[in-house]
Structure 1
Amino acid sequence: MRTSEGERVDLTTPVVIGRKPTVTRLHGLEMPRLVAVPHGHVSSNHLEIRLEGWNVMAVDLHSRNGTLLRRTGEPPVRLPEQPAMLVTGDVVDLGHGVQFSFHELP
């Protein structure tokens, strides 16, 4: 996964993205990596990215402004508050230029 600033984030553990992310619950046994995004429109705990088997899943964490999934050749869709599978080339958009792109997914 890459941030809009070009930083690479490995998906070896779940990732919680937010303005001031905290661990409020654990999905599985692994402690998630916390990725802070210092933008006022991003919720404290906005989005979770995790592996389920070989699939990379994204879950909006009841964020105030929502999360868009941008997939090549399709119109943007708002992520549900349940796991949605990501594919290579997907971009998850938190708004105001805050995006995470996914490449070389299994």
Structure 2
Amino acid sequence: MRLPPAPVSYAIRIGSGDDIPLDVPVLLGRRPTVRGLDSGVAPRLLPVPSPTQEVSGTHLRIEQSGDAAVVTDLRSTNGTVVLRPGAQAVQLRPGESAVVLAGTVVEIGDGNIIEIIAAPIGDRREEGPE
């Protein structure tokens, strides 16, 4: 019997750094804060370098939603660019969200490039009749 594909768990990778799981929403920016944002699960705050101040204080939210990830520009000053595999780059409007899959690259300025990556949850193999 062939089982359906395993669900996907997403993470992000900034540059050549460590993978950061999206088990909770992630807020990225020069000095990210949760002030004024919706309540619920406490997000992971991830500061990124911005020597020329292209990145806003709390610039971007990335979270898993079902079998996809959602990238939301948090009304940043200089914008967010989303590049899905095989598609043209899209500039998000302030406050706009985009549903993305693994392989998507997000640029927020000052050389901060965020890659959306995926890993299967658990280990589901083909099973034969018992």
TM-score, with length taken from structure 1: 0.89
Q: Which amino acid aligns with 1:103?
A: I
**Which residue of the partner structure matches residue 83 of structure 1?**
97
Identical residues among aligned pairs (%): 37
Select the residue among 30, 55, 61 that pairs with 2:74.
61
**Which residue of the partner structure matches residue 48 of structure 1?**
61
**Which residue of the partner structure matches residue 111 of structure 2?**
97
Counterpart-to-counterpart distance in 2, 1:105 and 1:85: 17
Select the residue among 23, 35, 41 that pairs with 2:34.
23
User: What is the DSSP-based 3-state SS (H/G/I as helix, E as strand, rest coil) of the residue aligned with 2:71?
Assistant: strand
Counterpart-to-counterpart distance in 1, 2:17 and 2:108: 16
TM-score, with length taken from structure 2: 0.73
Gaps of 5+ in 1: none
Structure 2 CA distance for partners of 1:62 and 1:105, relative to 1, 3 Å = farther
Which deviations, in whole Å up to 9, do the C-alpha atoms of 1:59-80 show, x marking residues without a partner? 0000010000012221111123
What is the total number of aligned residue pairs between the two structures? 106
Q: Which structure's relative contact order is higher, taking Cα pairs within 8 Å and 6+ residues apart?
A: 2
Counterpart-to-counterpart distance in 2, 1:55 and 1:88: 8
Q: Which amino acid aligns with 2:55?
A: V
Deviation at 1:28, TM superposition (A): 5.2
Q: Which amino acid aligns with 2:106?
A: V
Contact 2:49/2:110 (8 A) holds in 1: no
Gaps of 5+ in 2: 1-11, 121-130
User: What is the DSSP-based 3-state SS (H/G/I as helix, E as strand, rest coil) of the residue aligned with 1:23?
Assistant: coil
